[in-house]
Structure 1
Amino acid sequence: MKILISNDDGFRAEGIVALYEALKTIAEVEVVAPEHNNSAKSNALTLHTPLYVNRADNGFRYVNGTPADCVHIALTGLLGYRPDLVVSGINNGANMGDDTLYSGTVGAAMEGFLFGIPAIAVSQMEKGWAHVDAAAQKVKQLVAQMKSGDLLQAQPWLLNVNIPNLPLDQIRSPKLCRLGRRHAAEPVITQVDPRGQTMYWIGNAGPAMDDSEGTDFHAAKLGHMVVTPLKVDLTEHQSLEVWSSAFERWHVTEPS
């Protein structure tokens, strides 16, 4: 089994080091990760500036680009082979609900999925890396179970996983959930720089709006390892018929 690891916190982040140490005991593992923190970069690719790959003293390779850049470069030429699995993380903080749209952690995993490779995005629910080794062991267990169940040979899939910051024996069983929803982000923060110009900082994410039973937010509160299958298709299938009727009423026709 060959695994590609990436993340969005940077190649020296505690989460990616713990993940590597855990997974290297069950697979051939390579790390290609961003040089610096790239949180909230989603699926962004760098198209107008050159990218460089370097190798760190710990053997990890790092790229002066986004998480998606790292996986894209790895899969299109750097590795020279096709991994069986892409794992992104372990992120410093949760990626639940609407966070998944912005997450660089999810973006890196999604890049692997877009290349037809099963992929997992992994985050701890709270910042600070408390019990990160326990989270890494839970990922190791999950990957081992997937391998034994032949899930790595199935059609490509994309999972978003959030793990509570708890000792290994206190993390409750994996629970499949849908994504919850958040309220709008908190107001932008403004400051004045030394030259008198106004600076703007994006505000913190808003509180959970939908944390009902069955959501990732709800299961997280109960201490479960939360697993959500994701898809890339953004089509609102349920409204296609509504829009079709609207277009018919507007007598939309092809030009003659």
Structure 2
Amino acid sequence: MKLLISNDDGVFSLGIRTLANTLAAVGHEITVVSPDRERSATGHGLTLHQPIRAERVESGFHPSIAAWACSGTPSDCVKLALGALLDNPPEMVLSGINHGSNLGTDVLYSGTVSAAMEGVIEGIPSVAFSLTSFTVKDFQPAADFAQTLVSLLEKQPLPHLMLLNVNVPAVPAEKIAGVAVTRQGVRRYVDQFEKRVDPRGKTYYWLAGELLEDVDETELAAIELAKLEAFGSNLDWYHQTLTDVEAIRHNCITVTPLQYNLTCASGLVNLRDWHLNFPPS
């Protein structure tokens, strides 16, 4: 397959090189376009007020890989690749392997997920891969799963245009409990700003949020159930589907289908009987 790979950890990160080299070694045609430095938590930001530069990277990748270091954000990288650097569009966009998880509401901030979502916006099936640790450096189990998943998607394409968000537990391969198709869970943080003073006496702040892993998801579940009930869905399967946050605790690889349409379907049901007029009567 012809694959475009990006990330938010930068072109020199071990995760992207392990992913790209593993897939190139089994015969996939790989192009890498990735930030020239770490651009984590940039979300879906785009560079609009300064030029974007791209330079070829000649080392660190499989000889068959064409790799570029881009001065822009992860979303910029995918846009630039599709609009200027590639002669023909790829069959799939991959992002990662991120150093750290992208679970639950993390996906709203993640540059890794946003790079893959840019592919979906352009009509290309996409997958984001993350290793759930900031310290573990063994990306090979995640890359091996990526190879398996890409092979599966080559034979059995997704029925609808979507993004698959994959998180791989940071444990030895033999301790991975399996693969779970999950729904997006919730991760909340207590944001703490540490106040500091620089050498010139000026005050600045450093964001250091504390993760709350055990979040009550009752409210979120109620919203999702209302959404499904509004369209007459059978809910038996839903009750058996773990969230990505839950499944990763059991050392399962999580595969969560996402979309860029953020419309709240249950909200449409709730609002459809409202009588909104302008100007007010």
Aligned partners of 1:220, 1:84: CA distance in 2, in Å? Answer: 29
Alignment check: 8 A CA contact 2:92 2:126 kept: yes
Match of 1:63 in 2: 70
Correspondence 1:177 to 2:182? yes
Alignment check: 8 A CA contact 1:15 1:129 kept: no
Aligned partners of 1:183, 1:158: CA distance in 2, in Å? Answer: 22
Q: Deviations over 1:14-71 (max 9, x none)?
A: 0001001111124101100000100001111101100011011225201001000000
Match of 2:118 in 1: 111
Deviation at 1:170, TM superposition (A): 2.5
Alignment TM-score, normalising by the size of structure 1: 0.92
Match of 1:228 in 2: 256
Matching of residues 74-113 of structure 1 within 5 Å: 74-113=81-120
Instruction: Identify the range of structure 1 (6-15 vs 22-31) with the bigger mean alpha-carbon deviation.
Output: 22-31
Match of 2:226 in 1: none
Alignment check: 8 A CA contact 2:128 2:165 kept: yes
Deviation at 1:148, TM superposition (A): 1.8
Match of 1:37 in 2: 38
Alignment check: 8 A CA contact 1:7 1:88 kept: yes
The amino acid of 2:175's aligned partner reads: Q
Match of 1:53 in 2: 54
Instruction: Identify the range of structure 1 (190-199 vs 116-125) with the bigger mean alpha-carbon deviation.
Output: 190-199
Aligned partners of 1:157, 1:26: CA distance in 2, in Å? Answer: 25
Structure 1 gaps, min length 5: none
Secondary structure in structure 2 of the residue aligned to 1:19: helix
Alignment check: 8 A CA contact 1:44 1:66 kept: yes
Alignment TM-score, normalising by the size of structure 2: 0.84
Where in structure 1 do 4 or more consecutive aligned residues deviate above 6 Å? none
Question: Identity across aligned pairs (percent)?
Answer: 39
Alignment check: 8 A CA contact 2:192 2:210 kept: no
Secondary structure in structure 1 of the residue aligned to 2:119: helix
In the superposition, relative to structure 1, how do residues 88 and 54 fare at CA in structure 2: closer, same or farther (>3 Å)? Answer: same
Alignment check: 8 A CA contact 1:211 1:217 kept: no
Structure 2 gaps, min length 5: 60-65, 219-240
